[in-house]
Structure 1
Amino acid sequence: MGNFSFIDELVTLSLMASALGLDAFSVGLGMGIMNLRLRQIFKIGLVIGIFHVVMPLLGMLIGFAVSDTFGRVAVIVGGTLILGIGFHMMYTTLFSKEKNKFSPSGIGLLLFAFSVSADSFSVGIGLGMFGARTGLTILLFGLISTIMTWAGLILGRKVEQQFGKFGELLGGTFLLFFGLKLLFFSKL
């Protein structure tokens, strides 16, 4: 990143990765309300971590020319997916006699991971323009988002155990607000 020393770049990229990881933590908190098993939590964290490696790497490779158009499309798709999951959780909790059927597995997990990591694509484009160290960037983004996702999912699981149906409503509401934030308050 320009004339930054390795330590300066490490600190800067760690702060950026933590900011992006907060999104993963927040969405994980809402998703953890679904009373996921520890094996599912582990898998979800890994997949989100992988997406937080792939998305900024793609962004860094694509560069500045398409950042305004493609970056915004990724955020819109991600925000819409998270809104849909939040609405589904709330509707199922309030109006259905069945347990919430959304499960972050298979294609659902991939769409979920994409939606959480969409903003890291745009950040990757910017970092690519500034010449950030690619290996360091994707390592930090992947590692920090994985850990923060696990923390959010585990904390959400504890909330569900304590609050039951109210916890599922809270999780759905949290996902709704995060989806709205992506759609209407992104800086793209």
Structure 2
Amino acid sequence: MSGYIGEFTALLFLSLALGLDAFSVSLGLGMQRLRLKRIALIGIVVGQFHVIMPFIGIILGRIISEQIGHLTTLAGGLLLIGIGAQIMFSAFNHQAKKIIQPIGGGLILLAFGLSIDSFSVGLSLGISGVKTIVALLLFGIISSILCWVGLLLGRKVRGFLGVYSELLGGSILIGFGFQLLFG
């Protein structure tokens, strides 16, 4: 029985660690003008990707080695840097339309970038043979909750920062992208 509790506790902490990136990026993203309906949808999609990506990683982890994990981290970091740079550029150029918004394809790209580290974790979990359903449910639920908290906090902070909120939000995305690449 203590083995199950230990494994659950480890998965819970791993879920929190994976969800913290969704929280920090959502904090920056929440500084944009987002409606509550959009915030709810973003959290759901990010949570779904935090289930799908590690599931794919678990399947592939049982088939291939861990060497692909470095490429996924590189792709996720570059994607977040690109989104952050675009947000900052649009803050300086008020006439520029935002290329990537958390709507449709932009939301899919954002959720993919946030969950790419979950894929790498899934690779290692697939090799270790962890309880797949429990891990995936925890990853999805925790990341959705942390994403919603970050978006709502960012929305509140936006009122205090005004015009500079987009610059701060973009810099948070860029900083997290660099942290993924070099951290």
Whether these two folds match at TM > 0.5 is yes
Stretches of 4+ aligned residues off by more than 4 angstroms: 98-101
Out of 171, 175, 178, the residue aligned to residue 176 of structure 2 is 178
1:47 aligns with 2:45: yes
| Structure 1 residues 159-178: aligned runs within 5 Å | 159-178=157-176
| Deviation, structure 1 residue 134 | 0.2
1:8 aligns with 2:6: yes
- Distance in 2, matches of 1:78 and 1:34, equals 21
Aligned residue for 2:155?
A: 157
SS of equivalent to 1:120: helix
What's the TM-score once normalised by structure 2's chain length?
0.93
139-148 vs 96-105, which moves further: 96-105
- Distance in 2, matches of 1:116 and 1:165, equals 26
**Structure 1 residues 155 and 99 mapped into 2: Cα distance closer, same or farther (>3 Å)?**
farther
- Distance in 1, matches of 2:85 and 2:129, equals 40
Over residues 91-148 of structure 1, what are the superposed CA-to-partner deviations in whole Å (9 max), with x where a residue is unaligned? 1112334575642111111110000000011111111221110000000000000000
> What is the total number of aligned residue pairs between the two structures?
182
SS of equivalent to 1:5: helix
- Distance in 1, matches of 2:86 and 2:159, equals 20
- Distance in 2, matches of 1:4 and 1:68, equals 33
96-105 vs 139-148, which moves further: 96-105
Contact conserved, 1:93 with 1:100, CA < 8 A, in 2? Answer: no
Contact conserved, 1:25 with 1:148, CA < 8 A, in 2? Answer: yes
- Distance in 2, matches of 1:124 and 1:4, equals 24
Aligned residue for 2:67?
A: 68
Amino acid at match of 1:54: I
Amino acid at match of 1:93: A
- Distance in 1, matches of 2:33 and 2:67, equals 38
Aligned residue for 2:19?
A: 21
- Distance in 1, matches of 2:169 and 2:115, equals 19
Give the superposed CA RMSD: 1.6
Over residues 44-71 of structure 1, what are the superposed CA-to-partner deviations in whole Å (9 max), with x where a residue is unaligned? 00000000001111111111624212x2
1:57 aligns with 2:43: no
Aligned residue for 1:91?
A: 89
Aligned-pair identity (%): 46
- Distance in 1, matches of 2:155 and 2:6, equals 36
SS of equivalent to 1:104: coil
Aligned residue for 2:141?
A: 143
| Deviation, structure 1 residue 150 | 0.4
Unaligned runs of 5+ in 1: none
What's the TM-score once normalised by structure 1's chain length?
0.91
Amino acid at match of 2:67: D
